[in-house]
A and B are shown apart, each in its own frame.
Chain A
Amino acid sequence: MELHAQQLHYREVNQWLRRCSQDGIHHVTLYGIRGHRYIGTGLNNSLRIQIHGTAGNDLGAFMNGGEIVVYGNAQDGVGNTMNAGRIIVHGHASDVVAHSMRGGTIFIRDDVGYRAGIHMKAWGTNPPLVIIGGTARDFLGEYMAGGTLIVLGLHDSSAPLVGSYVGTGMHGGVIYLRGTIAPYQYGKEAGLQPLTADDWEYLQHTLAPFCEEFGFNLEEVLDHTFCKLVPLSRRPYGRLYEGAVGAINSHG
């Protein structure tokens, strides 16, 4: 099934998608997408959506299954609070990719903007995975609570791989960076750990479908320095208000 969406409002596009989904259709293609919002929101089964154009904000928000493939770029909020399924972007994405994502997979071929993976979390047997082929800006994995973020920097070796405040407030999950990171670039709640044999095995196994999708050479991608950021504590701010609470109690 195909839909030419150039003249349609995003609500009409999403109504059509929900109807396709209810009718048991497995594969649809959208043409002429130009900033249409919320495409695939709450998608709940095996529907596969191909998008040609620039996907609008909150692509695949609350997505709970199925697959979205964008042949073009995506705007802000890809996979916002996504729960399951897969989003693949053959291009770049703007800010807050994978905001509060709790499950499923996001592949972005090129760069992402600020706050990718902010407050990602994990639950059950489907922890979220985000792989970014290009670079990421400040606040990557801020307040991260679970899941895996991988930033590869495959396109421009002169561009900074990540910005600053990486993993600030991080208290779960793991961030792999293909390259190095200076101490001032990550938050004091995160720490560097050497990669173990298990990590390398995990990366090989996890990056294989990403490389296959975008035509990268897996061996070349892996033949590089990686670093790994993990939280130093499960509850970095647990003591933040202790003094205040104590003061209230003593007046109580």
Chain B
Amino acid sequence: MRPAQRYDHAGCATAGILHKGGQLINGEAIIEAIGTMRERGNGLGGGFVGYGIYPEMKDYYALHIMYDREDYRQPVERYLERALLLIRSERIPTRPTPGVGLAPVFWRYFGTIPPNEPRPAGESDDDYMVRVVMRINLEFDGAYVVSSGKNMGVFKGVGYPEDIGRFFRLEEYSAYLWIAHARFPTNSPAWWGGAHPFSLLQWSVVHNGELSSYGINKRYVEQFGYRCTLLTDTEVFVYLLDLFLRRQKLPWEIIPAILAPPFWEQIYRTEPAQRRALLTAVRQVYGAGLANGPFSIIIGHPRGFMGLTDRIKLRPLIAARHGDMAYLASEESAILAICPAPDEIWEPLAGMPVDERLYEEVVL
């Protein structure tokens, strides 16, 4: 539809908005923000994640599943009926949208773990869900789990994000945290399952850049039972986060030191000695978790988001605050589109996180 010479600009856009008081924001706002950076994508991928969109079902896992064709659905549903106690199953509403071509079929399932399911000793509900997600992605033809957290969901596909947002009728959802992505695929295929965000359980990631460490990162997470099946490097970020934050219970403060650690020469200069020892230990233990290559990412989780760039700042990220709102985006203009006069707007330092959270007293 669009001539090839229009595919020649810079790559990928990210945007995130958070109401730190937990107030719900309509999906229109995030579409407006990401749409401002239309030039950064090329219509071959757009997507959104919203946290807080299913308040009436917040105690149940919400599985968003994409089927290449309708006839791939039944085998998965037969498996899900055994693996989960399903409360609700429904087709995710979409509308025909100019700019969005032939689309897969999207369904969502709300459910919980069956109480009498025989499970390995000590396995948590989340561990069980990870097994379910990995099994569907690996063993069922034409079926891909797009998201699997509670009270959140991912909506993504091939198209400009503005069009994908209309396709999924995002104006009918409200969330306290929205994160969006416009894709410019570089070295992996443009397909519906390869659009961002990538998500597992409560974690989601959008990414501008590429992971030259993908092979090392992938082999590392595979040792812990994760399987990379979605043909795009960004997927591995999500499994690293699930491993570090949920299974190993590492504090958030450690995450930037693993993904984007300072260079050794900077570590040698670091004071005080305790901090130097910590950075040294993290690099020694978690070297295989280092995300090498140019990147800026936004990590979403139920309590907020974290923005992070690679340690030499090879991809852009701008942060802003206004009242109870926090913003992140690849370009300043995207933030100003929905917040014309922010209290603060700044360019975060390379490898230093922008960690914005719901206020502690906010109960979800």
Contact = CB atoms under 8 A, between A and B. Distances in A.
Contact of B36 (A34, A94, A114): A34
Given A138-B312, A139-B312, A184-B269, A75 B39 contact: no
A113 B333 CA distance: 16
Interface residues of A, number: 22
Contacts of B269: 184
Contact of B332 (A94, A111, A115): A94
B347 interface: yes
B37 A113 contact: no
Nearest to A76: B316
Contacts of B334: 35
A105 interface: no
A10 B334 CA distance: 15
A237 to B, nearest CB: 19
A54 B347 CA distance: 14
Contact of B336 (A34, A76, A94, A164): A34
B134 interface: no
A112 to B, nearest CB: 9
Interface in B319-338: 331-334, 336-337
Contacts of A138: 312-313, 350
Interface in A36-78: 37, 54, 56-57, 73, 75-76
Contacts of A164: 266
Contacts of A113: 313, 347
A95 interface: yes
A121 interface: no
A111 B265 CA distance: 26
A54 B332 contact: yes
Interface size class of B (residues with CB under 8 A): 20 to 34
A164 B37 CA distance: 30
Given A37-B39, A94-B318, A94-B347, A75 B332 contact: yes
B326 to A, nearest CB: 19
A119 interface: no
Interface string A123-148: 00000000000000111000000000
Interface string A226-251: 00000000000000000000000000
B99 to A, nearest CB: 16
B29 interface: no
A9 to B, nearest CB: 9
Interface in A3-53: 10, 34-35, 37
A240 B313 CA distance: 26
B349 interface: yes
Max count, chain B CB within 10 A of own CB: residue among A35, A56, A184: A35
A184 to B, nearest CB: 7
B337 A137 contact: no
B336 to A, nearest CB: 6
Contact of A35 (B37, B265, B350): B37
A18 B350 CA distance: 37
A198 B10 CA distance: 43
A11 to B, nearest CB: 10
Interface string B337-354: 100000000010110000
Contacts of A73: 332
A94 B345 CA distance: 12
Given A113-B347, A137-B349, A56 B333 contact: yes
A75 B312 contact: no
Contacts of A10: 39
Interface in B15-44: 36-37, 39
Contacts of A75: 316, 331-333
Contact of A54 (B265, B333, B350): B333
Interface string A217-231: 000000000000000
A74 B312 CA distance: 21
A57 B313 contact: no
Nearest to A38: B39
B347 A57 contact: no
B265 to A, nearest CB: 8
B332 A114 contact: no
Contacts of A95: 313, 316, 347
A26 B153 CA distance: 53
A34 B316 CA distance: 17
A75 B266 CA distance: 28
B323 to A, nearest CB: 20
A35 B39 CA distance: 10
Contacts of B265: 184
Contacts of A114: 312-313, 350
Max count, chain A CB within 10 A of own CB: residue among B10, B318, B332: B332
Given A75-B332, A137-B349, A184-B269, A34 B337 contact: yes
A171 to B, nearest CB: 21
A35 B347 contact: no
Given A94-B318, A113-B347, A34 B313 contact: no
Contacts of B349: 137
Pairs of residues from A and B, 9 with the lowest C-beta to C-beta distance, nearest first: A35-B333, A114-B313, A34-B333, A54-B333, A113-B347, A54-B332, A35-B331, A75-B331, A35-B36
Given A56-B331, A75-B332, A184-B265, 9 more contacts: A34-B333, A34-B336, A34-B337, A35-B336, A75-B333, A76-B316, A95-B313, A95-B347, A114-B313
Interface of B: 10, 36-37, 39, 265-266, 269, 312-313, 316, 318, 331-334, 336-337, 347, 349-350
13 contacts: A35-B334, A35-B336, A54-B332, A54-B333, A54-B336, A57-B331, A75-B316, A94-B316, A94-B347, A95-B313, A114-B350, A137-B350, A138-B350
